[in-house]
A and B are shown apart, each in its own frame.
Chain A
Amino acid sequence: MNDDAPASTAEQRLQQHLLVLREEPPRPSQALTTRIVRQARWQRVVREPLRAAGRLLSAAISGFAVVTGLRRRAGQ
């Protein structure tokens, strides 16, 4: 027996009811596709500059930490 076979008459009946849901599935509007594609393209444009800015900021913070660390050590 297939382990997915409905165990009881009630389960078999439930499967028939659920099949009805496939007949008329919810459908997305065309506007959804347009919105996703537009957002993805916009994100592609800003993603690289943002990542570069993030790397730059991270490098600046590391540099600042090194410099202040050196000064503190020199002062001791």
Chain B
Amino acid sequence: MTADPDRALVVRARRGDPAAFDALVARHRDVVFRVAARIVGRDEAHDVSQDAFLRAFNRLDGFRGEGTFRAWLLQITHNAALRAAERRLPEPLEPEGVEEAGAIAESAVARTPVAELEARERRRRLEAKIALLKPQHRAVLVLRDVEGLSYEEIAAVTEAPLGSVKGRLNRARGELIAILRANTYDWELPR
């Protein structure tokens, strides 16, 4: 088992050190928000992320350290996101807002404005199509193919056996390919 880089912070946070919990939030807020946003949409991702962090905070004594803190936190995020997704249909992610224009400009340095617009449109369309998958399928697809988690980590996060994770991922990829093939936009997916 690999050493958990968050162990010292978790120990300090458990002892009541508020700065340690703040540091854990700062360290993991991006991945928690990304996973939440890809499952429930950007608007609801803020509430889901807050819910996940506060649940983690209140259950910190129950974290046994069998896996990493990150995997445990993502498990809480995944469950919170699925609960939220069950409550209402997800909205596709919208293109980045004005406040994120700086980040966009930075990532677009090497592209022409037309190519960048085209890439953003493809991303927007793809995100909208991913939102059509079942929440459980969407979750494993995002965790594996977008966030790059290992199968073992995904099994821990989703609390599912390894075989189920692989099966769910295969089905998710197959469903997404079928959805994209049915789309009028050409995704260049040969049969």
Contacts and interface: CB of A to CB of B under 8 A. Distances in A.
Interface in B126-158: 126-127, 141, 144-146, 151
A14 B177 CA distance: 7
Contacts, number: 105
Interface stretch (A30-38, A58-66, A67-75): A30-38
A39 B93 CA distance: 27
Given A14-B173, A21-B146, A28 B16 contact: no
Interface in A32-64: 32-33, 35-37, 39-41, 43-44, 47
B112 to A, nearest CB: 15
A24 B107 contact: yes
Contacts of A44: 16, 18
A76 interface: no
A20 B38 CA distance: 14
Dominant secondary structure at the B interface: helix
Interface residues of B, number: 50
Q: How large is the interface on A (under 10, 10 to 19, 20 to 34, 35 or more residues)?
A: 20 to 34
Contact of A18 (B22, B103, B145): B145
Nearest to B126: A17
B123 A26 contact: no
Contacts of A25: 30, 34
A14 B37 CA distance: 20
B187 interface: yes
A24 B191 CA distance: 29
A59 B144 CA distance: 49
Q: Which of A17, A35, A39, A44 has the most CB of B within 10 A?
A: A17
A12 to B, nearest CB: 10
Given A26-B38, A28-B46, A28-B49, A21 B33 contact: no
Interface of A: 3-4, 9-11, 13-15, 17-18, 20-29, 32-33, 35-37, 39-41, 43-44, 47
Q: Which 3 A-B pairs have the closest CB atoms?
A: A28-B33, A26-B37, A10-B189
